Amino acid sequence: MENTKFDVVIMGSGMGGLCCGYILSKEGFKVCILEKNRQLGGSLQIFSRDKVIFDTGIHYLGGLAEGENLYGYFKYFGLMDKLKLKQMDMDGFDHITFKGDPTVYKHAQGYDNFIRVLSEQFPEEKENIQRYCAKIREICDFFPLYRIEDDDKDLVSANFLSIDTKTYIESITSNVKLQNVLAGTNPLYAGEADKTPLYVHALVVNSYIESSWKCVDGGGQIATHLAASIKKMGGIIQNYSEAVKFNFEGSNIKEVVLKNGKKIEGKYFISNFDLTKTLDMIEPGHIRQAYRTRITNLRNSISAFILYIVLEKDTQENFNYNIYHYHSNNVWESIKAGSENWPHSFVIFPQASSKEGKYTDSMIVMAYMNYDEVKQWETTKNIIPNNEEDRGPGYEEFKKKKAERLIDAVDARLPGLKKKIKSYYTSTPLTYRDYIGSRDGTLYGVEKDYRDPLKTFIPPKTKIPNLYLTGQNVNLHGVLGVTVSAVVTCSEILGQPKGLIRKIKKFLEENK
Ligand SMILES: Cc1cc2nc3c(=O)[nH]c(=O)nc-3n(C[C@H](O)[C@H](O)[C@H](O)COP(=O)(O)OP(=O)(O)OC[C@H]3O[C@@H](n4cnc5c(N)ncnc54)[C@H](O)[C@@H]3O)c2cc1C
C-alpha cells in the first residue's frame, strides 16, 4: 500500500464496511478498507467443500423486488443488475412446523398473500392477522431510512418502543398456535421473550414478507461487486490487515496500527467490528471509563452451531423455502433450552445454485448454541490459511456428537435425509468468533432490549471525535440493517443529516 494517509480508514470489510466504502468513495473521499481475513465480506463470506459453495451468514434476503427498500439501496450501490438472485416460493417462502403437528404453516410473500395464506390455515383469525400486518407496516414507517425516506419521525415517543415482540403478538391473538407461527422465524433476530423489542421483529419480518430471495451461488457476490466498484472509484482494499491499536494526536486518532506493524493514517476512522474489541484498541486515558464499561457490559445475541450438508447426487429434490422447525409449541423456549434438550429448534436453509436442476446438492442447518458450550476451547484460534490451529480431539468429538444429534433431528423432520448425506461440515460459535472477530461468535451483535431501547441502540458517533461505528451493532443486523447503518454512519461523517438520503432518493428517481 503506497499511500498510507487517507480521508477515511474503514476497519473491517463486512457489508457495513463495504457500503461505507462505496458511499464515501462516491462522495469523493479517499478510502482505505482494512480486512483481517483473506476473504472480504465478513458474514457475506462463502466457502466451498466437495465442489459445493456454502454461505456463512446470508441465507436469504428480503425487500429486493423493484420499488422495495433493499432493491433501492442495492440499485444505488450498482448491484441490482449484477447479482444472481432467485425469488423464493410466493405462497410459502418460510415453512413453520412443530413436532407432533403435521400441518405446515406458511409465511407467504406480499402482505395480501401473507394474510390470505395464513387466514386459510386460521380462518377465525383473519382480522387479527390483518391487524398484525398493519402494525408491522406502521412500525416500519417510523424508520425513514428503512423506507429510503427523509422525513422526520418522533421515534423517541413512539409507543411501540416499549413493547416486546412476544407480549405484542399475544395481545393480537389468543390462538397459541398462531402466536407461535407469527413468531416462527425467531432465529432471524435471535428473539427472546420479554426482551426483543417489537420494532426489531417488525423491521426484519417486513422485508421478507414484502419479497424473499436467495443469492444464487452465495452471498459472496455482494462483497465481490462492492469491492470492485470501490476500487474502480479509487479506494484501496487491503486484506490480511488486522487493526490492533490506535495512535492519537491530541483527542483525535492519528493512525491505526496493524498487526504486521504498518501504520495507516486517516482523517476519519470507521470500525465495522465488535464494539468491545474496538475499544480495546484505545489505550486508557482517551475515553472515559464509564463509556468503556457501558459498552463492554452490553450483551451480544446468541451464537449457533451450523451444519453444511453435501448431498448425494440426485437424491434430494429441490425446494425453494426455508423450514423453521420447533420441538415444542413455544418458539421462545429454544434460545433458552439447555444442552440436554438440544436442538430445541433448527432452521433448514436450502441453497440456490446455478448448477441445480430437479435435485439439490446441499443444504444448511442452523441451531442456536451458547458460546459457553465451546468456552473450554476458547484459547485456540482457527482461520484458514494463516491461523490453522488444531483445537484438539475433544473439540472434534464435541462437533461430531452435536452434528449427529442435529442430523437425527433433521431426519425426523425430513425422513430419509440421513441416507442422502454424502458429507457434512460444521461450524461452532468459535468459528464465527475467529472469522468475524467478535468476542463470542454472536449471530447478530449487540442484543436489543425493549426495557432500555436507547441503551442498546448504538449511535455511529463515539466519544472519540474522529472514530465512527458501523455494521450490525449500529442500528440493526442483517444485510438490510447494516446497509441502513452505513447510511447513518456516512451521513454523520458527511455532516448533513439528510443530504445523503436525499441524494440516494434523487438517484433512484433519475434511474427508474
Ligand atoms: C449464521 C448467520 C446467518 C445469517 N443469515 C442472514 C440472512 O439470511 N439474511 C441477512 O440479511 N442477514 C443474515 N445474517 C446477518 C448478517 O449476515 C450480518 O448482520 C451482516 O452481514 C453483518 O455485517 P457487518 O457489517 O456488521 O460486518 P461483519 O459481517 O460482522 O464483518 C466484520 C468484518 O470485520 C473484520 N474484522 C474484525 N476485526 C478486525 C480487525 N481487528 N481488523 C480488520 N478487520 C477486522 C472481520 O473479519 C469481518 O470481515 C446472518 C448472520 C449469521 C452469523
Identify the residue with better confidence: 384 or 334.
334
pLDDT value for 385: 74
Q: Provide the whole-model pTM.
A: 0.97
Percent of the chain with pLDDT over 70: 99
pLDDT greater than 60 at residue 97: yes
Residue 313 identity: K
CA of 43 relative to ligand 1 center, distance in Å: 4
| Distance of CA 203 from the midpoint of ligand 1 (Å) | 18
Containing H/E element for 467?
A: strand 467-469
Give the residues surrounding ligand 1 with Cβ less than 6 Å away. Answer: 11-17, 34-37, 42-44, 57-61, 242-243, 272-273, 304, 366, 432, 436-437, 443-444, 471-472, 477-479, 482
Yes or no: say if 64 and 38 are a contact pair by the CB < 8 Å rule: no
Q: In DSSP terms, which residues pair with 467 in a beta bridge? A: 269
CB 223 within 8 A of CB 19: no
Take atom 48 of ligand 1 and give the residue whose Cα is closest: 42
Q: What are phi and psi of 254, to 5 degrees?
A: -95, -45
pLDDT of residue 102 exceeding 80? yes
Domain ranges of the chain: 5-51+61-84+217-298+447-510, 107-215, 302-443
10 CA distance to ligand 1 middle (Å)? 14
Mean pLDDT on 127-156: 92
303 three-class SS? strand
Given the CA of residue 40, which atom of ligand 1 is nearest to it? 49
Residues 255-282 have a mean pLDDT of: 97
Ligand 1 atom closest to 44 (CA)? 21
| pLDDT for residue 442 | 97
Q: Any alpha helices (H) in 234-390, and if so which ranges?
A: 275-280, 289-296
**Span 50-65, mean pLDDT?**
97
**Ligand 1 atom closest to residue 306's alpha carbon, by position in its atom list:** 1
CB 367 within 8 A of CB 343: yes
Burial of 151 (0-12, 13-18, 19+ CB in 10 A): exposed
pLDDT of residue 51: 94
Contact 115, 129 (CB under 8 A): yes
- pLDDT of the residue at 2: 53
Confidence tier at 340 by pLDDT (50, 70, 90) = confident
- The pLDDT tens digits for 170-229 are 999 999 999 999 999 999 999 999 999 999 999 999 999 999 999 999 999 999 999 999
Is 154 a residue whose pLDDT tops 80? no
- The whole-chain average pLDDT of the chain stands at 95
* SS3 assignment, position 231: helix
Which helix (H) or strand (E) element contains residue 305? strand 303-311
pLDDT recorded at residue 497: 81
CATH topology of domain 5-51+61-84+217-298+447-510: FAD/NAD(P)-binding domain (3.50.50)
User: What's the pLDDT score for residue 461?
Assistant: 95
Rounded to the nearest angstrom, the distance between the alpha carbon of 100 and the centre of ligand 1 is: 35
pLDDT band at 70 (very low <50, low <70, confident <90, very high): very high
Q: Whose CA is nearest to atom 21 of ligand 1?
A: 43
Pairs from 241-250 (Cβ < 8 Å, separation ≥ 24): 241/34, 241/35, 241/36, 242/34, 242/36, 243/11, 243/34, 243/36, 243/271, 243/281, 244/281, 245/281, 245/283, 246/281, 246/282, 246/283, 246/286, 246/464, 246/467, 248/283, 248/286
Q: What cell does 459 get?
A: 449511535
In degrees, to the nearest 5, what angle opens at C-alpha 467 toward C-alphas 493 and 492?
20
Distance, CA 366 to ligand 1 centroid (Å)?
16
User: Distance from the CA of 259 to the center of ligand 1, in angstroms?
Assistant: 21
pLDDT beyond 80 at 412 = yes
CB-based contacts of 66: which residues, under 8 Å, 6+ apart? none
Quick check: 291 pLDDT over 70?
A: yes
Residue 309 predicted with pLDDT over 90: yes
Cα 334 from Cα 191, distance rounded (Å): 10
pLDDT of residue 386: 73
Residue 495 has pLDDT above 70, yes or no: yes
∠202-206-207 over CA atoms, to 5°? 130
Answer whether residue 3 shows pLDDT above 60: no
Give dist(CA 168, CA 12) in Å, integer. Answer: 36
User: What value does the mean pLDDT take over residues 487-498?
Assistant: 94
Ligand 1: centre distance to CA 433 (Å):
11
Q: Which residues contact 427 (CB under 8 A, 6 or more apart)?
A: 56, 305, 306, 308
- pLDDT tens-digit series, residues 155-170: 777 788 889 999 999 9
Atom of ligand 1 nearest to the CA of 41: 49
pLDDT above 70: residue 1: no
CA 60 to centroid of ligand 1, rounded, Å: 14
Query: pLDDT tens, 76-93?
Result: 999 999 999 999 999 999
Q: What is the dihedral of CA 205, 206, 209, 213, to 10 degrees?
A: -80
Q: If you take atom 10 of ligand 1, which residue's CA is the nearest one?
A: 478
Return the ligand 1 atom nearest residue 43 CA: 29
DSSP classification of residue 302: P
Q: What is the mean pLDDT of the segment spanning 263-290?
A: 96
Give the model confidence (pLDDT) of 455-492 as tens digits: 888 899 999 999 999 999 998 999 999 999 999 999 99
- pLDDT at res. 54: 97
| Angle ∠(292,298,301) on CA atoms, nearest 5 | 145
Q: How far apart are CA 91 and CA 319, in angstroms?
A: 13
